[in-house]
Structure 1
């Protein structure tokens, strides 16, 4: 009896490839589920704390460029902080053309609360991103008052009245040099619901929060919208000068502090919310693509590995289910479905945190495919000289800028 002909062998090899890919994806999900710092859990919130006997002084630094649309929702929440110690707000108008600085002064007159100083640093010199140049100016203004802590917060972040108090208490109680909270981003439009929770989910997968706060680990990250930084730690780590070229400045800041011997904590926020809308896919696409390739250190090799990893982990499971069903391979369907179920299950806590329907969980492969395309687009834009563009500025790769140091 003759064996299978060439077409049959071809089909068997295709089915075998699908089965092995699905098995690899399931194995990857088993490792992610148990060995990646339990990244999928959303219970890493501000650690237990107690009020200090004396509340340290705090300088709140807010870099702002063309933020008139969101400032009325965010700045009053900072001015209204119920903080027992001395605190001042320093808003740095980074070359705005929409009256951001004038609006900030008007809001302070209308709402009162913490003292507000509005400064302007001028255009950043070569080798500095605009935000970090503004942060440098704001820290300089704050240091003239001798604060023990600096709160670096974005102009689109609204804080609950006790936000500053809780941050300082957590830093003092835990002995942390950085306490950062991942602000709860807005999820109102269809695309925000589909993309935003996944953005935080992927970030936590890259930088598991539990590992960041654990002493002796190298994992370091912060969320730029809300970073409480001890002033002495900032001086020791040369913040922001040491990270002046960083597009992903929050991660670079946390890494610099940790490498200089500081302790860093990062978790999800309660009472710290972004008010910036991203109603269209194009808005979210720009947010991700401007920094995705920088996250990969502008490396084509890392880009290729990331694309392959995203495909194996997120795209293979639904493809294996569909292809296995067509080819009549029960093994491919079973393995692909198992990987898909584990994937969806790890996404459920983040959907609950964002108060989104759980039926979005099985759609994570589609969202991951969007992120894959955004990452590739980010690389293309960088190679065309249009990467890391934000609010009218485009930043070169760090190795393309002369080092001042």
Structure 2
């Protein structure tokens, strides 16, 4: 059933996700003299004559968005560009782009004047289905991914799936990786529903996209509203991320986030099987029906096991001597363990690699 909006409760400020078939919602912000638009330059190149053609060009700040730009220096550069416009505390920032745009601009909005009005328009599947909700902003520090950040939700989030239709396959299937993760965390019924949608999702059909995005956000809502500041149940959303973030870092982000998460889920499932928590039947079932969405050429990626394990040691979710890992068990419940040994992680990665999973993931 199509929803027009979803309201999320937050101890900071409640906020809404609003679904729109057009970009007309931008008009009310165009007439506000205290509005600045921060737009991913690639999104602008693609949509400046289409979805974004009516934006006032004098009020647009274009930013580059790749992983290396998620830094304090980028935030400082954005401060400078905004300050050139003599901003006031009642200004509104409209961010238009994907997850990196969200992180850079969200952190900027949360720290400028100790917090200004912020509206987010996600343009990637990953941002629309996952990162746009949850209140987190994150930037990298040196080699550490998402080490610095704040909790600061946008006032409003506007989702238009027309932006997603223009994504390349790598970015699109990166987002689909997070959709799969959330549906696995949603339970068996969610997985069954997603499997029915997958053929249409692979073809980027709009109705299937909208259904998958809304279901993903509702699943995530059930995790974040009960644990907004990530001290308990919300940790389970890191399924696939413990190995996944490490793979991103160790490959210098040659593998995009959502694709690394898919690899991370496979690796976590191998650990769960070895520990007797997940049946081999379910492991192979997930591999066959959900995970054939890796669209990067893994043979071209430098895959160094010791560097991945080293990156896992820097995981901010790690609380003890050993490594942290979120796993899915047979009843679709997610659990977090803090006793994954370096030897165990190394052996799983070695098995993963030597079994040709990296080259021929599901043959």
Same fold (TM over 0.5): no
Of structures 1 and 2, the larger Rg is shown by: 1
Question: Looking at both structures, which has the greater relative contact order when contacts are Cα pairs under 8 Å and sequence separation is at least 6?
Answer: 1
Q: TM-score, normalised by structure 1?
A: 0.29
Q: TM-score, normalised by structure 2?
A: 0.32
